[in-house]
Amino acid sequence: MKKVVKFGGSSLANAEQFRKVGEIIHSDDARKLVVPSAPGKRFGGDTKVTDMLYQCYGAAENGEDFDGLLADIRARYQEIIDGLGLTLSLDEEFAVIRQSFENKAGSDYAASRGEYLNGIVMADYLGYEFVDAAEGICFDADGNFDEAATNEKLSARLSGIERAVIPGFYGAMPDGSVKTFSRGGSDITGSIVARTVHADLYENWTDVSGFLITDPRIIDDPQVIDTITYRELRELAYMGATVLHEDAIFPVRQAGIPINIRNTNAPQDAGTMIVESTCRRPKFTITGIAGKKGFAAINIEKDMMNSEVGFGRKVLNVFEDNGISFEHMPSGIDTMTIFVHQSEFEEKEQKVLAGIHRAVAPDFIDLEANLALIAVVGRGMRATRGTAGRIFSALAHANINVKMIDQGSSELNIIIGVRNEDFEAAIKAIYDIFVTTQL
């Protein structure tokens, strides 16, 4: 069996965390390829190394003295090296970094050095081979990830290597210059490596024991999801629930490789398995609850709307012409409602309303602001009758007025619209009816 394991910044913030990671890796012989992030915060109020690098490079770019800032970054790594009792020296690497900063090598290069240096330390600590991500992760001339080139180049680079550390977050352009993914991109690197080496499992180690059913800032100590499908995860991530970078899903999904979200500080916890499909019955009817505030609804009414060919297209063209994307579009025989992000819509609301009048000559348009959307997601809802009814009942009992409800044809999710001020209470009510009462 072969596993690719990725560790986040909080898992590698100091020497103590490094030791935990080392024990986790050595406890399972299948953990052969390791993808580290840059050191994260050691305590509240601390600064992540990536942010320190951005600040340091910003000073260099402005022609300011950056030696003190670079010395602080160097001290972070030396603290880890000394704490682990290693004899490793990063003198040459920091000399190159300093020269590159003076030569204005770019902010992508600067940000990538956090993972690069941590990869060198991790490889030395584990006794694994260090493989620079720039030697295998490829971007095209426009800065887009080049899947075909990466598959070929990374596969060749890792060929014959039994155990290696590959830094996350970055790769290289055709001219050799460093290019990074968006923040959190180490998740993507781990996923790419897993696909390239045909891993049996991609383990993503972080500071939570898996994917939680809902936001712990709203529900105290919510239940952990044992198993979630990629489709369920996609629905929840779309509504703001995040544990790993969204783009990290696609490479392993294409290869049919499951992801296991684990907790570095509680390695005994099984965490959450993210899979393509499963016949395992979920513990609860729902898998997860997620949502966002800050939406506006545009309610359009017109008699015989349903018989007017192209009505919906004409309305949506108005939003497209104004650069506004829509979130949901529930409709009736003579009504259509468009949900949009209020912050995007407010500046252009009168242009949009005028455009709708010109396009479809509605009988009436009404606007409603300060709304929230909540997604209730779960493969178990397909086989369970009365799910929507239970949601309505729970919300009514909590004195929450439902502004909209929309169920997808896949029966995988139900979207509920409520007022912003009812958002937290609505999530608590739904969690209680589907989870708390079932425990």
Domain assignment of residue 226, yes or no: no
**In the block, residue with structure tokens 């919300």:** 395
Domain assignment of residue 163, yes or no: yes
CATH number of the domain enclosing 327: 3.30.2130.10
Domain assignment of residue 253, yes or no: no
pLDDT for position 200: 96
Is there a single domain that holds both residue 295 and residue 188? no
**Alpha-carbon torsion 239, 242, 248, 252, what sign?**
negative
Which domain-ending residue is among 141, 175, 207? 207
Which domain-ending residue is among 164, 179, 207? 207
Averaged pLDDT in 10-residue chunks for the chain of 439 residues: 95 96 97 96 94 97 96 97 97 97 96 98 98 96 94 95 96 96 85 95 92 92 92 81 73 91 95 89 89 95 90 95 91 90 94 96 95 92 83 94 80 90 96 90
Domain assignment of residue 395, yes or no: yes
Domain assignment of residue 31, yes or no: yes
Is there a single domain that holds both residue 193 and residue 293? no
Is there a single domain that holds both residue 45 and residue 180? yes
pLDDT for position 410: 65
Give me 99's structure tokens. Answer: 């020269």
Is there a single domain that holds both residue 408 and residue 312? yes
Is there a single domain that holds both residue 166 and residue 309? no
**Nearest alpha-carbon partner for 335 in 370, 362, 313:** 362
pLDDT for position 208: 87
DSSP state of 248: G
Which domain-ending residue is among 189, 207, 225? 207
Domain assignment of residue 416, yes or no: yes
Domain assignment of residue 240, yes or no: no
CATH number of the domain enclosing 52: 3.40.1160.10
Tally of domains within the chain: 2
Q: What is the dihedral of CA 250, 252, 253, 256, to 10 degrees?
A: 160
Is there a single domain that holds both residue 301 and residue 410? yes
Q: Could you tell me which residues come within 8 angstroms of residue 332 by beta carbon, excluding any fewer than 6 positions away? A: none
Per DSSP, the three-state class of 246 is: helix
Domain assignment of residue 95, yes or no: yes
Find the domain containing 164 and state its range.
3-207
